[in-house]
Structure 1
């Protein structure tokens, strides 16, 4: 299907070029397609298109199944690298902040203030969340204590959104497992926050306009740190952005999948056809397609292969 054959694993421009290649078989470089265009270079760098013909004047595609395998392998390698950077970044951050255990207490220094009470930390969170003028990044995890705020939820102020501020809310996937967690994400999204999820969010944090951050360093909720040091803010911003890249939107009916539906999703991620899945699972093709429809709705995926990729990122598999 045009526009979806590579399951969103390349840019829209590269996807469109690949679809043209699959329709035509080959394209002439410099005539049918710009050999130095970003989308051309992207496909060649990913190994899903290559030069051929006399003088390497033609651009040829690899088959869709092979292309998907190459792209998924690349995505997996990139994910492993990002996870390693995330872990190293968190260890480095904790070490630089001087935190060595629950209640041992981080040491204050230039650009780092210790907040040692939950009410004060909650009040500061409300203050910071409402103060954004450009970009507010917020990370949430259910494993850390939360002090109820006066308004119960941290919601983007309409005035800030109207002025062009962007709010990014990153939630641990565990929020989908409880009604209040799903409601919190739904209310935040309705208020204008860009809501994403990932399997593991190691702490709570609010980072406002790359100028101030509030970070919880212990599961008990305190002590929390108010950070204004420029070098530490850069680490926090990079750390959040890496997690944001490795996240998914909580679209569709986010319901648990049965064991049979999970198996079908895993098979989808390998590029198997409905008939192959049915044969391997010992069920009818109609049953396979029903499982696929449920999984796609639950994952907010537009294609079957994208459902498999999204399920893996959510930690469902």
Structure 2
């Protein structure tokens, strides 16, 4: 009896080996590796299970100006069984309504780079559609990097906003993550506060001073009340030919501040501002141009020109 049981066990083991080798030795179908699908560890996600998005450090203040980039950080927790790759988008609730000149924000109102789980930062693009009367469009949004599924995904998004970003206000932006099937697997909000920042150079203004030798000096505004002026820069000599000088807004419609000067005969001359980038300066520098144009005479009737 024991001999019979031993022979049965041997036959069963042999049959198992034959079954395993059959595709290779007896003309069976060739073995094909199944596609690799990234899945968050654990059992399959329960129907309707949605993970969370949590912002780090509370609401983020984003200066709308020349300060440079700040970084938004948040972590998404995915439900077990999430299959990747995972895509994500950040949407603002703000609707951009067209003004007379088109979009209320500049073309590159926010410049961003994105990184996930400590990877290198890469550029990520904003879509800033604006609507006219009767139109319906999606709200402004930022497409985040598509990545492999994981239990948690830590996002870092830099934001460098210009002055037109002020119209975005103080939104609670919605973050939404989807799996490979397009199903939402995590969602939540992050708080952003777009606040006034340092204005661009052409909107900061400047102060001019003429010394006793007739040399004109320029003190460029910095936009910082604690140090309102940058170190002076020499414009040129010969300005003692004038009895009065005054800076003005852009009279030439070129977005550059201009300067007017009155001579001893009472004639008023216009020097249109010329913009150039000077190394070491606070951005673009605007100085009176080398040529002047006559505005008119009779300006010596005034005690003060400003």
Q: Same fold (TM over 0.5)?
A: no
Place the TM-score, normalised by the shorter chain, in its bin. under 0.3
TM-score with structure 2 setting the length: 0.23
Whose strand proportion is higher, 1 or 2?
Answer: 2
Structure number having the greater helix percentage: 1
TM-score by length of structure 1 reads 0.23
Task: Answer with 1 or 2: which has the greater Rg.
Answer: 2
